[in-house]
Structure 1
Amino acid sequence: MQCQKCKKALARSGSHFLCQGPCQGTFHRNCVKGLAADMKAGRIRTFCNNCEEEDSDDEQEDGGQDFKRILKDIQGKVSTLPGLRKQLNHIMESMSLLSDKYDTLLAEHEESKKKIIHLEKSFITISNKNVYLEKCNIALEQRLDKFDQTSRKHNLEIVGIEQLPNENIQALIKTLGDMLEVNTTDIEWVSRLPQRKSCDKPAPIKVGFTVNGTNARDAWLSQRRKLAEISSCDVTGGSQKYKIYLNEDLTKPTRELLWKTKKQLRGTYKYIWVHNGKILVKKGDGDKSILIQSEGDICDLLNK
């Protein structure tokens, strides 16, 4: 075997250097430049001088190629800057437009808030007026009902007299008056009300007394206890034995309020009655009478 550089034979047992580079050659140690210095410095040497130069050239070549590639990348990126600038300008214009729209929306929002506050105040005002008008309407209805009820103070309502064909109502009332032992000369008019479709009982009869006949009407009411012994057949001569009742002539609202009063207060209040168109209740003997003018009065009594 000979040295790759000097071409002289290598000692079989002598020290020599084996290159790990592309040449894979074997050299005398003295033929490899710088090997002694590297060994003295403790550096491990794997390439011969030729392979080191080739490796260095490759590194330089690779470095040059890397530089060219980086330079090309930089140039490519630099070439995109004008397009990026246009995109940036477009973005800035869009941002400016959005900013203007946002300012417009913000102003509209503030204006809407003011309108909403104004509407809320208007709603409260209208609501208060509505409550006031409802109270006025209730008060007006109560006044009208009171006036209507006052106009009926000379009237009576008789319930339970059988209605026969071709009846003579005035004669029936005269017969009933005689049974109750009351005067019938102050009666001004008599009329039977229309029959209710949903009611199988006889239609009531209204009796109107003269203006000066209030005492006569009260006399009839004071004698109604005697009705416990009188039935419809006793007055009409018919077959029905309806129980007869004498009531004050009440308006529809007063009649409905009386019905609600009896329904809700019966059992709690011992006495519930009507006097001169006014509904009165009393809890027990010796207690003070209480006037019922509305459903609110009923609720107040229930909550006590």
Structure 2
Amino acid sequence: MNQQFEELKKEVEKLKRERQEQRCYIEGLEKKTTDLQYKSRSSGIEIRNIPHTDNETAPGLIKTVCSIGKQAGMSISETEFRDIYRLPGKNTKGTTAPTTRPIIAEFTIMQTKQNVLSAIRSYNSKKTKVNKLNTELIGIPGRIQAVYVAEQLYSATKHLFYLAREFAKKNEFAYCWVSNGNVFLRKQTGDKQLLIKSEKCLQDHISK
């Protein structure tokens, strides 16, 4: 009986080690996939709350993004765009509310994206809530709506960012942000920033 118990115990320990190795391998693959996805989108920004217009065209969207840059104090040339499009989705029927599916603007180089995001952050930081970037300021008629510009993220990072924000609210973290495809947390001003690579990172912090 004792011998059988020891053999069973060794088998369980072996299975635990194999499971841990497989988990590490999977996490490594997920990170490689994440890095590849980020590199493919590293020069893109996502713009929300720009109403859809009839017969919308890429040149028209480019002019809108250039107007956003101008309002934030940054000149953006039409030649700096690699691609621009509105994300697909169903229009809301039976309502007068404008369609506000996000617009994705991809620049030819990543530095342009960084400059745009930096200019908008600087602009909004100096304004009151009412005067921050909105549709009226960039010449779009109709109901005034706040315009949000952020780094383009793929679905996995969006989900992780959502989980991190929820974690921050529940655990009184003052800061939660995304930079270059990475999610960060900071408890309060002056504290060390925490890089959140996966859901497991959040779970580890919860268990501490």
- Shorter-chain TM range is 0.7 to 0.9
Q: CA deviation at 1:123?
A: 8.3
For 1:251 and 1:236, how far apart are their aligned partners in 2?
Answer: 30
For 1:288 and 1:119, how far apart are their aligned partners in 2?
Answer: 45
Does 2:82 match 1:178? no
For 1:127 and 1:285, how far apart are their aligned partners in 2?
Answer: 40
In structure 2, do the counterparts of structure 1 residues 197 and 139 end up closer, same or farther at CA, with 3 Å as the change threshold? farther
Correspondent of 1:139 among 17, 20, 28: 28
Q: CA deviation at 1:170?
A: 1.5
Which residue in the other structure is 1:259 paired with? 162
Normalised to the residue count of structure 2, the TM-score between the two structures is 0.76
> Could you report, residue by residue, the CA deviation over 1:220-268 in whole angstroms, capped at 9, with x for unpaired residues?
1112243553322443523132211111111111110010000012252
AA aligned opposite 2:112: A
Which residue in the other structure is 1:38 paired with? none
Which residue in the other structure is 2:38 paired with? 149
Which residue in the other structure is 2:181 paired with? 277
Q: Is the 8 A contact 2:173 2:188 kept in 1?
A: yes
- SS where residue 138 of structure 2 aligns? helix
In structure 2, do the counterparts of structure 1 residues 197 and 145 end up closer, same or farther at CA, with 3 Å as the change threshold? farther
Does 2:140 match 1:237? yes
AA aligned opposite 2:158: R
Which residue in the other structure is 1:189 paired with? 83
Which residue in the other structure is 1:69 paired with? none
Which residue in the other structure is 2:201 paired with? 297
AA aligned opposite 1:193: L
Does 2:61 match 1:169? yes
Q: Is the 8 A contact 1:191 1:206 kept in 2?
A: yes
In structure 2, do the counterparts of structure 1 residues 293 and 197 end up closer, same or farther at CA, with 3 Å as the change threshold? farther
Percent of aligned positions with the same letter in both sequences? 23
Which residue in the other structure is 2:127 paired with? none
* Structure of higher RCO (CA pairs closer than 8 Å, 6+ residues apart): 2
Q: Unpaired runs of 5+ in structure 1?
A: 1-113
AA aligned opposite 1:298: L
AA aligned opposite 2:62: Q
For 2:194 and 2:10, how far apart are their aligned partners in 1?
Answer: 41
Q: Is the 8 A contact 1:195 1:202 kept in 2?
A: no
Deviates more, 1:188-197 or 1:126-135: 126-135
Q: Unpaired runs of 5+ in structure 2?
A: 125-130
AA aligned opposite 2:199: E
- SS where residue 190 of structure 1 aligns? strand
Correspondent of 1:224 among 116, 120, 125: 120
For 1:121 and 1:174, how far apart are their aligned partners in 2?
Answer: 65
RMSD across aligned positions (CA): 2.9
Is the helix fraction higher in 1 or 2?
1
- SS where residue 101 of structure 2 aligns? coil
Q: Is the 8 A contact 1:162 1:236 kept in 2?
A: no
Normalised to the residue count of structure 1, the TM-score between the two structures is 0.54
For 1:295 and 1:303, how far apart are their aligned partners in 2?
Answer: 13
In structure 2, do the counterparts of structure 1 residues 196 and 144 end up closer, same or farther at CA, with 3 Å as the change threshold? farther
- SS where residue 273 of structure 1 aligns? strand
Count of residues in Structure 1 that have an aligned counterpart in Structure 2: 186
- SS where residue 301 of structure 1 aligns? helix
